[in-house]
Structure 1
Amino acid sequence: MEITRSRPSLFSDIAHGLGFWTDRSAVHHAAAHGDATQLQKLLREGALVNMVAMDSITPLHEACIQGHSQCVRLLLDAGAHVDARNIDGSTPLCDACAAGSLECVKLLLEHGAMVNPPLFTFSPLHEACMGGNSECVKLMISEGASMEAHDCHYGTPLHVACARQHKDCAKVLLNAGANVNAAKLHETALHHAAKVENVELIEMLVEFGGNVYARDNLGKKPIQYAKPGSPSALSLSFYESTPLSLQQLSRVALRMVLGRQALQTVAQLDLPPRIISFLCYVPPSTTDNYDS
């Protein structure tokens, strides 16, 4: 549970630029338009860096959602609250991840931005997946972002990536050890892939151990969300009737045991490069033959 500190007084907050509800200020506008010169001038003249608008948007939110890294730096150096939340609960880091601005994300992290917000909240990692920003997904995971963070509406970041058909983001999550069968109301990422009729996603999820027999809260398997006779339905039907090979099952089992450390650990094993590639889900070259 998030603990809220007691607030001394409204006038004290206004003096420090906190909690004062207003329309967009000049600082907001400069930050939103990336006008670093004007922003610097306003801050030098004593403008309040943490002024909030009616929707609790701060100038730092504005700069981050537009990816204006120079303005982000100016605001942070002037004392902007790095974890300020707007009316939707989003932080500047959420906005930077949504915008896909690696530079802004790095600046916020350098200033101590919270990577994992309270439970049941749309996290920065969720936002990166929603926007299809795989590089931000990689960075957030490297900073310790929880891949099993569960938003009460969307589920895990993997659910979001699959629902939005961002295969690159899903691949990053799965390779980093995300739970392929994590459920929201018993609905898995494979259910989402079936709903959006994305065969590539379906095949990738199954290769990573996705359960084609999993049933959601309506008792439906993924195949029941695919249009009958469609490529997605045919793919799921094949996987239901054809067990994974021993190679595939061994790879899934090994990676489940290793979890987030799978890629680093597998790379250090004394195995032929082509086996390492197989375990790391790296596409083999045309000369590779795992049966030899």
Structure 2
Amino acid sequence: MEGWLVSGSRLGEIGFWADRTPVHEAARRGEILQLQQLIANGACVNLVTYDSITPLHEASLRGQTQCVKLLLAAGAQVDARNIDGSTPLCDACASGSIECVKVLLSHGAKVNPPLYTASPLHEACMNGSPECVRLLIDVGANLEAHDCHFGTPLHVACAREHLDCVKLLLNAGANVNAAKLHETALHHAAKVKNADLVEMLVEFGGNIYARDNRGKKPSDYTCKSSQTAKCLEYYEKTPLSLSQLCRVSLRKATGQQGLAKIAKLNIPLPLMKYLSYN
């Protein structure tokens, strides 16, 4: 997502400073025939604009799958970074284009590029694209990648109230109590006043007593008598059932890698579904 990240670019690896070119415009607009002709006439596919955006960034950000394929076939650098540090895969996830994401990954795009800010998984959660989130998880995206402004992908998904993405992250083993300045996903859920989100996080072991850097619990960010406040008040007064506590503890002990093997355990199907929150 252009302008959302803060990082350095690597201009020396992808070209030189240039104005926006016809290749950029064709890629942005999805003009396949025009792009083919430009490439056939020798146009460079790795030229960068003043903000270090390549044609591949343009095509990825706008979900132009065929243009992405053409550019990659012509030698576009799959992990080029723009001035914000964003790679084409980040931009494809920001656009929610699952097809572009698949193409980029098939050409070796790094699912965990060495960024100090938002990862492709952050972008998919920001956009609210469960398909992209699921695919990134399947190919090994770091669930605990930390952005200095937004925290983990779980923080982002909760702040944007993308419950499908939150459920995918939690089921895959994301740390429900990961903190950004001591602020947890539950703090975000309380701030956006989403009782369903609060309930989901608590069921996965969210700590309702966690305090942020201001010393406030999630419930301190709710309005009295609101549904969110009532939900948190209920959990403060009513401890989780023994079966629920066992489920949370077992999943925590199993770890992210082990959770994927639950379906292979020789245990009754109802218990397997319970452990997998199905």
The TM-score with structure 1 as length reference comes to 0.89
Q: How does 1:17-28 map to 2 (within 5 A)?
A: 18-28=14-24
1:191 aligned to 2:190?
no
Contact 1:19–1:51 (8 Å) recurs in 2 = yes
Deviation at 1:278, TM superposition (A): 1.1
* Identity percentage of aligned residues: 65
- Flag the 1:4–1:41 CA change in 2: closer, same or farther, 3 A: closer
- Flag the 1:6–1:130 CA change in 2: closer, same or farther, 3 A: closer
Other-structure match for 1:288: none
d(CA) in 2 for partners of 1:67, 1:110: 16
d(CA) in 2 for partners of 1:154, 1:129: 11
173, 178, 181: which one aligns with 1:177 = 173
- Count of residues paired in the alignment: 272
Gaps of 5+ in 1: 8-12, 283-292
Moved over 4 A (4+): 2-7
d(CA) in 1 for partners of 2:124, 2:240: 31
Other-structure match for 2:131: 135
- Which protein shows a greater Rg? 1
d(CA) in 1 for partners of 2:61, 2:169: 23
Gaps of 5+ in 2: 1-6
d(CA) in 2 for partners of 1:99, 1:198: 25
Other-structure match for 1:30: 26
Q: Which amino acid aligns with 1:162?
A: C
Question: Which one scores higher on RCO, CA 8 angstroms, separation ≥ 6?
Answer: 2
Other-structure match for 1:203: 199
Deviation at 1:118, TM superposition (A): 2.1
Contact 1:177–1:262 (8 Å) recurs in 2 = no
Contact 1:119–1:149 (8 Å) recurs in 2 = no
Contact 1:193–1:199 (8 Å) recurs in 2 = yes
The DSSP-based 3-state class of the residue aligned with 2:261 is: helix
Contact 1:176–1:262 (8 Å) recurs in 2 = no
1:39 aligned to 2:35?
yes
CA RMSD of aligned residues (A): 1.8
d(CA) in 2 for partners of 1:174, 1:84: 31
Other-structure match for 1:103: 99
